[in-house]
């Protein structure tokens, strides 16, 4: 068979035989595309590694000057950033920043975990299809509000019009208003991930429970929630991890006072807000004051990484049950 | 050939059964007390009619099989008996379904109460991902039973012929049991709430032949206490276990209809309908 056979079929089905040069070009193009795709994937891995390397380098430098024991046990955080004549002896105890962070995260959890879980139960077990179609997009909008907007909401509404009305002695900057708004921010995360976990519980389990005379509430609380528990707990942990890392709301509303306290009405400073403060200030790069933010950042990184690993482990276990 | 096999199964069974279970089948329907009865029952899912005008009487302490080809509405019918279909959006029912003389689709009847008295076992074993003990105790817990929970659990497991196999692993996760054991656990779970009727929707379709035989033996034992309704696509199974058989077919518009109902022996040996004979002799379905 020759070229004429092919031409007889018509111009649309004309096939040109490919020469060795074209084949080589094709291989080259494939290899180039392969390389570009690999580079794209590598960028994120490289960035992560570079961040860890930078953090580690500066953190090691910091601990060359400050003992790690002092860092973990000292109850005062007075980095002496201004280096002014005040003459306060510098202290590098992470505990006040840690307590501030945990206070906000705990407050946020108190708000978000029950509300988020109940929302998830409602959406997964009770809401009719049309209502779910309305509520879920609204929750997603809530998740998409810029945190700086939420920060102003915390400062000008929650703090001013709620906390200060209930507790007039409170300062305008306080942990409670930040915690409440961070909690509101992470509700969609809890509800959406928990709902995914509950929706993955097979219908047959629900039917089994209904067939034994269980009510809707009993099916939800005694069968669906326990069966989805690892996914629900994973959503809690991810949300708390997100609350710990939240920056803008706490910078705007929680204050800038490193303060070892468990009173939510106090003004505090979180680790993230401290990093912002130093980054925006005039602390000289390379100075001990500047290096503190890497030590604090490292602490933050280790905390959230641990929480994320735990939640991944739980999610993984959860998947195994029904596959 | 199929027909002869089935006739053999039926003949063997009715001859070898102990005398107290030898039923005089012809007047049987009148003599035995009806526990569940449908009168002109029709069911729709949205605009689709799934069942048309089903009238049948389920006797107490007997096994009633519902057989028929796939898609003829067997499962829809059995799921009407404990109002499981209420969970499906668009479900609508007409006609009456009487349980001990009361229409369970009537006004003021709570489906939860119905399900507490009419237990159900499903096609695929569906134990909760909890311990064996908690699975059986579940019904008792949600129904607020008084009495010692461990006794209720043991009694139910013994009745389901599972006690000896699991008595040392009551605290283990039920999902670790074999498929046949899981299904008997689901039966035990249903027995623990002391129902009057047990519905079984193709309870052996996910099981191997040995596990299937165990469940069938168990069904015969349970029929001494409970009314059992079983849906099966397996005609030999109906011939082996059922006292009464209902044959369902799909009509032209795909709605399910009941074409024959009677004592199993009669349905399998001298069916009234040509279509029943065609179906059980394997000419279609």
Contact B89/A at CB under 8 A: yes
- The stretch A250-262 carries a mean pLDDT of 91
Query: Which 3 state secondary structure label does DSSP give B46?
Result: coil
Does residue A13 or residue B263 have the better pLDDT? B263
Question: Which ipTM score applies to this complex?
Answer: 0.88
Contacts of B84 in chain A (CB under 8 A): 207, 210-211
Residue A12 to residues A16, A19, B16, B131, Cα–Cα distance (Å):
12, 21, 77, 68
Q: Write down the pLDDT at residue B31.
A: 47
pLDDT of residue B6: 76
The answer, yes or no, to whether residue A91 has pLDDT greater than 50, is: yes
* Nearest chain A residue to B198, by CA: A211
Give A21-59 as a DSSP string.
HHHHHHHHHHHHHHHHHHHHHHHHHHHHHHHHHHHHHHH
Q: Does domain B2-280 have CATH number 3.40.50.300?
A: yes
Considering chain B, what percentage of its residues have pLDDT values greater than 70?
A: 92
CB contact under 8 A, A205 and B126: yes
What sign has the CA pseudo-torsion A266, A270, A273, A278? positive
Choose the weakest-confidence range: A38-42, A47-51, A188-192, B276-280.
B276-280
Q: What is the pLDDT of residue A323?
A: 36
Q: What is the mean pLDDT of residues A187-209?
A: 94
Cα–Cα distance measured from residue A57 to residue A233, given in angstroms and rounded to the nearest whole number: 34
- Quick one: average pLDDT of A1-16? 53
Predicted pLDDT at A282: 80
For an interface test with B, the pick among A197, A204, A213 (most B C-beta atoms closer than 10 Å) comes out as A213
Contact A223 B126 (CB under 8 A): no
Res. A12: pLDDT tops 70: no
**Is A212 close to B124, i.e. CB distance below 8 A?**
no
A224: pLDDT strictly greater than 50:
yes
Are B259 and B284 in contact by the 8 Å Cβ rule? The answer is no
- Enter the tokens of residue A108: 């946020």
Long-range contacts, A278-281 (Cβ 8 Å, 24+): A278/A79, A278/A81, A281/A81
Interface test with B, best of A125, A130, A132, A211 (most B CBs within 10 A): A211
Query: A319: pLDDT confidence band, cut at 50, 70 and 90?
Result: low
Instruction: Assess whether pLDDT exceeds 70 at residue B27.
Output: no
Q: Do A212 and B189 touch (CB under 8 A)?
A: yes
- Please give, rounded to a whole number of angstroms, the shortest distance from the CA of B27 to a CA of chain A: 33
Report, as an integer, the average pLDDT of A240-258.
93
Q: What pLDDT is recorded for position A318? A: 60
Q: Which of A10-19, A173-182, B212-221 has the lowest mean pLDDT?
A: A10-19
pLDDT > 90? residue B24: no
User: What is the per-residue pLDDT across A168-180, written as a single tens digit (0 to 9) for each?
Assistant: 988 899 999 999 9
Task: Look up the pTM and report it.
Answer: 0.81
Write out chain B residues lying below 8 Å of A211, CB-based. 82, 84, 115, 119-120, 122, 190
pLDDT tens, B225-238?
Answer: 999 999 998 899 99
Going from N- to C-terminal start, the domains of chain B cover 2-280
Q: What is residue B43's predicted lDDT score, i.e. its pLDDT?
A: 96
């Amino acid at each position: 068979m020759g070229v004429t056979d092919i031409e007889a079929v018509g111009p649309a089905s004309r096939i040109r035989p490919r020469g060795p040069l074209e084949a080589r070009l094709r291989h080259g193009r494939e290899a180039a595309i392969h390389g570009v795709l690999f580079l794209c994937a590598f960028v994120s891995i490289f960035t992560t590694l570079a961040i860890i390397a930078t953090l580690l380098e500066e953190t090691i430098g910091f601990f060359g000057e400050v003992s790690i024991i002092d860092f973990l046990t000292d109850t005062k955080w007075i980095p002496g950033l201004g280096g002014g004549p005040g003459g306060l002896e510098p202290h590098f105890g992470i505990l006040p920043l840690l307590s501030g962070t945990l206070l906000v995260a705990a407050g946020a959890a108190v708000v978000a975990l029950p509300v988020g879980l109940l929302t998830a139960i409602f959406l997964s077990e009770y809401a009719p299809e049309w209502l779910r179609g309305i509520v879920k997009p609204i929750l997603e909008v809530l998740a998409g509000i810029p945190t700086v907007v939420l920060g102003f909401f915390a400062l000008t509404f929650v703090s001013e019009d709620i906390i200060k009305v209930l507790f007039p002695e409170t300062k305008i900057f306080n942990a409670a208003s930040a915690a409440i708004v961070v909690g509101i921010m992470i509700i969609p995360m809890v509800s959406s991930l928990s709902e995914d976990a509950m929706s993955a519980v097979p219908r047959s389990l629900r039917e089994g429970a209904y067939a034994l005379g269980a009510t809707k509430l009993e099916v939800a609380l005694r069968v669906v929630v326990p069966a989805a528990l690892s996914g629900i707990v994973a959503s809690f942990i991810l949300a708390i991890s997100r609350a710990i890392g939240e920056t803008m709301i706490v910078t705007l509303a929680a204050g800038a006072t490193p303060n070892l306290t468990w009173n939510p009405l106090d003004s505090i400073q979180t680790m993230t807000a401290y990093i912002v403060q130093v980054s925006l200030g005039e602390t000289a790069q390379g100075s001990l004051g500047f290096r503190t933010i890497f030590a604090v950042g490292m602490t933050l990184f280790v905390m959230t990484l641990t929480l994320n690993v735990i939640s991944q482990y739980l999610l993984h276990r959860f998947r195994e049950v029904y596959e | 050939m199929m027909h002869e096999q089935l006739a053999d199964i039926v003949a063997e069974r009715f001859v070898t059964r102990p005398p107290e279970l030898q039923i005089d089948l012809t007047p049987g329907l009148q003599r035995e007390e009806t526990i569940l009865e449908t009168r002109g029952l029709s069911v729709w899912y949205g605009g689709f009619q799934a069942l048309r005008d089903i009238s049948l009487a389920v006797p107490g302490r007997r096994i009633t099989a519902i057989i028929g080809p796939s898609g003829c509405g067997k499962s829809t019918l059995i799921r009407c008996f404990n109002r499981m279909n209420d969970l499906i959006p668009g479900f609508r029912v007409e006609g009456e379904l009487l349980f001990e003389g009361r229409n369970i689709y009537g006004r003021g009847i709570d489906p939860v109460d119905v399900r507490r008295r009419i237990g159900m076992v499903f096609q695929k074993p569906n134990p909760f991902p909890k311990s064996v003990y908690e699975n059986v105790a579940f019904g008792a817990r949600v129904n607020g039973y008084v009495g010692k929970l461990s006794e209720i659990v043991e009694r139910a497991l013994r009745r389901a012929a599972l006690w000896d196999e699991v008595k040392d692993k009551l605290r283990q996760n039920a999902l670790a049991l074999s498929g046949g054991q899981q299904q008997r656990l689901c039966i035990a779970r249903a027995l623990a709430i002391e129902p009057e009727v047990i519905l079984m929707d193709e309870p052996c379709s996910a099981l191997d032949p040995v596990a299937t035989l165990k469940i069938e033996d168990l069904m015969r034992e349970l029929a001494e206490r409970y009314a059992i309704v079983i849906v099966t696509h397996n005609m030999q199974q109906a011939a082996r276990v059922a006292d009464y058989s209902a044959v369902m077919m799909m009509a032209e518009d795909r709605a399910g209809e009941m074409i024959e109902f009677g004592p199993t022996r009669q349905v399998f040996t001298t069916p009234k309908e040509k279509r029943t004979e065609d179906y059980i002799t394997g000419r279609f379905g």
